Amino acid sequence: MHRRALLAAFPFLAACSPTLGMFDAVAPRDGGVRRVVRDAAYGLGERQKLDVYAPAAHDGQPLPVLMFIYGGSWRYGEKDDYEWLGAALAAQGFLVVVPNYRLVPDVVFPAFVEDCAAAVRWAVDNSAAHGGDPTKLVLSGHSAGGYNAVMLALNGAYLSAAGVDAARVRGAIGLAGPYDFLPFDVDATRNAFGAAPDPQLTQPVHFARADAPPLLLLWGEDDTTVGPRNLESLQRVQTAAGARVQTKTYPGVDHIDILLAISRPFRARAPVLADMTDFVRRVTA
């Protein structure tokens, strides 16, 4: 579906709504999926909760575990707005974990990354009880969530602090994520990262390493929110380090399109779901 048709069908997106609640309420779901966990606590805070989606039926083999971290400038977001996405990913044969995490202005960096690390700890400890294989874990996220996912994959200190062996992460997928965005020159980055003592330590590109898990970095050519520098810089430093990194750019796709292309109504816009699925299957094989 063309962007103009997308906006005509869902006009609230044209207003840059920070939430996808209205979309979640009306978007058709992929079938054969059930939410097996709702509001499981991975911490003591009100926002430290997560949901889990699974195929309603499978062959009994433990499923790869795919965590999806939503975006929203580290200020907005609600896991309940992503039931459509949990269904879309679980329908591909994955156990899908979608966490909430604390947001600006209640917290600043690195609290939201630490929350996501704690959610990974929950997935490692509990996914087997719901049909998942905690040794086949892949992280993913869109926009600010893509930052969180890739930061966890590259800087193993966050997972280690949460009691997780960083080697458990088989790969990470970033959809339109920011990975190289110094200086902090917009409100979103100033508010989330401006108080950091060493800004370099907030940047995923700073943590390039040869033994990092494989990365899949996806971006849309019409994205005016997160520029190509982020994709290109991380690809360059990871490649130079000898790490495995794959990038793909979708023509005619913007910052919101790349996420909504996972949904049934807009899947023809770009093969985002197929590319994510292929990557997860490959790195967990």
- Strands, sheet with 215-220, edge to edge from the N-terminal-most edge strand: 33-41, 49-55, 95-99, 63-69, 132-142, 169-175, 215-220, 245-250
Distance, CA of 89 to chain centre: 12
pLDDT tier at 280, thresholds 50, 70, 90: very high
* Maximum alpha-carbon separation in the chain: 50
Residue 9's domain comprises 3-284
pLDDT tier at 58, thresholds 50, 70, 90: confident
What average pLDDT does range 79-108 have in this prediction? 98
Tokens of 103: 């947001």
* The pLDDT of residue 25 is above 80: yes
Query: Residue 20: its pLDDT value, please?
Result: 87
pLDDT, the chain, mean: 94
CB-hemisphere CA count at 13 Å for 2? 3
pLDDT tier at 60, thresholds 50, 70, 90: confident
What average pLDDT does range 151-158 have in this prediction? 98
pLDDT tier at 123, thresholds 50, 70, 90: very high
Q: What is the CATH number of the domain that holds 128?
A: 3.40.50.1820
pTM over 0.85: yes
Buried b (16+ CB within 10 A) or exposed e, 159-189: beebebebebbbbbbbbbbbbbbeebeeebb
pLDDT tier at 9, thresholds 50, 70, 90: low
* The pLDDT of residue 11 is above 50: no
CB-hemisphere CA count at 13 Å for 13? 17
Q: DSSP alpha helices (H): ranges in 58-107?
A: 83-90
If one counts the domains in the chain, the total is 1
